Structure 1
Amino acid sequence: MSYPKDLLSTRAIIQHGRYALIPPEGLVNNQLPYFEKCTTSIIASPKLGASFVQYLIEMEPEGKTTKAFGGDGIETFVFVREGALDVVVDGTKYELNQGGYVYCPPHLNMLLENNSNSSTKLILYKQRYIPVEGIPEPWVVCDNINNLEANIYEGMEDVTLIDLLPTDMAFDMNMHILTFQPGGCHPFIETHVQEHGAYLLSGEGIYNLDNNWIPVKKGDFIWMGPFIQQATYAVGQEPLSYIYSKDCNRDPEI
């Protein structure tokens, strides 16, 4: 860190309970219990208006969690942006590299450890699971996005969607990767009950949030609350791609 060389400014936009754009510039390190050798930023929580908590973590070599993460009704998800990670769930170790992920159901928990020689960058996520009578609980899912099929989105050849979790009623959430080729866009401006937390993996675009068109780029995080208008155009020379969460398969309570 050093003294600023110009006026302080930011691209961050925070509309509590509605939407937020959080760029990487300005993120601060949060010290958390049981996270060793980790640089951790909390980018979404109920304090923002989200129903989940999401973290960006850079884990040094020999970095780890010393207490199980999740369980007791909390489902969790970890995704490796860069590097390698060992994830232990119910005594089983899953060895992940870039693009790898693990979903842990609410009756289990996970331990994380970086046993490689370089830092690992992670997306970590948790939310409270909503059980439904007569529907079994979800199960552990481990895979890598490079193994999954990208499907054409809404009939648009220049937009693809990858489902990271099963589309099964046992799951009350999913994770997706949506990719727009340069010039690609949503087919319409969406307005729906689901909320999203989206982390931009690559590219640049113009995002409609609550009918405000906002420039976004790789490294940005976007939180979209329920019923907020949302859509994007991809601009520039490379695809705009982001990983995002979605609540699903549940009837809203009243």
Structure 2
Amino acid sequence: MSRDYYSSMGGLPPQTELLSSKAVFTTAYAVIPRTVMTDIVTSYLPHWQGTRAWVISRPMTGFSETFSQYIMEVQPGGGSDRPEPEKRAEGVLFVVDGEVTVDHEGATHVLRPGAFAFLPAGSKWTLWNKGAVTAKFHWIRKAFQPVEGLEPPPALFTHEDQNPPQAMPDTGGVWATTRFIDPADLRYDMHVTIVTLEPGGVIPFMETHVMEHGLYVLEGRAVYRLNKDWVEVEAGDYMWLRAFCPQACYAGGPGRFRYLLYKDVNRHMPLF
């Protein structure tokens, strides 16, 4: 199966561009369209060389609080020997363009588009672009929640090619999920998956649940219901949902609709 991962962020719109946009931040959700991800909103990170980042979500009191998500752009020869500053932070990498080399606890992994890596909190890793072209990947960071009696989760390096999509029940295969982590493995407190909807596929009810979401559209277009609004989204757009935001989706085509999905799972709710 051929796959396409959107990676054309950057640049700057011309002075003739209209100001209208679907960018919105509400109390229940945010939509950050690809047109917003220009050169002037990038960040540079300590101990990273030849690298810039689009920070598309971060913990915010009263909104979504469990995770942060970056789109990283690493030039040839760029990278870091000290990528993660927080010992409690676990991470997921998902590569959309070029190649990066990750050394994790003495083992070397070359990650190409479609590669997925889970990096446990406190583990030692480095990342460098040893290739000849710019590399881009998503980096999702979360503070790990240890549980007494459960071992910490191990590192995981895999690829979408090694994880066939699993059809959702009674959908005839038009709605499927690619799971990189076993949902029954309670050592993990977050999941990052790829959701695929074929043309005409729907999420046929208003999901309303405790999990926070980051949804980055990798391919295609659809109409997404977020709280009380219908929003058109396409490859390169990002949706950021707080807990209990009602959500549904209709993928009208012409091609399939695919997005990278974050959610927090497998833990009791903290009581303050």
Aligned-partner residue type, residue 113 of structure 1:
W
In the TM superposition, what are the counterparts of 1:1-254 in structure 2 within 5 Å? 1=12, 4-16=15-27, 18-27=28-37, 28-47=41-60, 49-69=64-84, 72-157=87-172, 158-167=174-183, 168-254=185-271
Deviations 1:198-224 (A, max 9, x none): 110000000011121100000011111
Aligned length: 253
Aligned-partner residue type, residue 215 of structure 2:
A
Aligned-partner residue type, residue 185 of structure 1:
V
Task: Label 1:12 to 1:132 Cα distance change in 2 as closer, same or farther (>3 A).
Answer: same
Per the normalisation by structure 1, the TM-score is: 0.95
Displacement, 1:71? Answer: 5.4
C-alpha separation between the residues in 2 aligned to 1:93 and 1:166? 23
Which segments of 5 or more consecutive residues in structure 2 lack a partner in the other structure? 1-11
C-alpha separation between the residues in 2 aligned to 1:171 and 1:145? 19
More displaced, 102-111 or 53-62? Answer: 102-111
Q: Higher strand share goes to which structure?
A: 1
Aligned-partner residue type, residue 9 of structure 1:
S
Task: Label 1:49 to 1:248 Cα distance change in 2 as closer, same or farther (>3 A).
Answer: closer
Displacement, 1:70? Answer: 5.6
Cα pair 1:76 1:124 within 8 Å, conserved: yes
SS in 2 for 1:130: coil
Which segments of 5 or more consecutive residues in structure 1 lack a partner in the other structure? none
Cα pair 1:206 1:214 within 8 Å, conserved: yes
**RMSD across aligned positions (CA):** 1.5
C-alpha separation between the residues in 1 aligned to 2:111 and 2:85? 19
Identity of aligned residues (%): 29
Task: Label 1:183 to 1:108 Cα distance change in 2 as closer, same or farther (>3 A).
Answer: same
Per the normalisation by structure 2, the TM-score is: 0.89
Cα pair 1:196 1:223 within 8 Å, conserved: yes
Task: Label 1:136 to 1:32 Cα distance change in 2 as closer, same or farther (>3 A).
Answer: same
C-alpha separation between the residues in 1 aligned to 2:227 and 2:98? 35
Cα pair 1:203 1:238 within 8 Å, conserved: yes
Deviations 1:215-247 (A, max 9, x none): 000001111110000111112211000011111
SS in 2 for 1:175: strand
C-alpha separation between the residues in 1 aligned to 2:162 and 2:31? 30
More displaced, 211-220 or 30-39? Answer: 30-39
Deviations 1:76-111 (A, max 9, x none): 111101111111111211111110021011131432
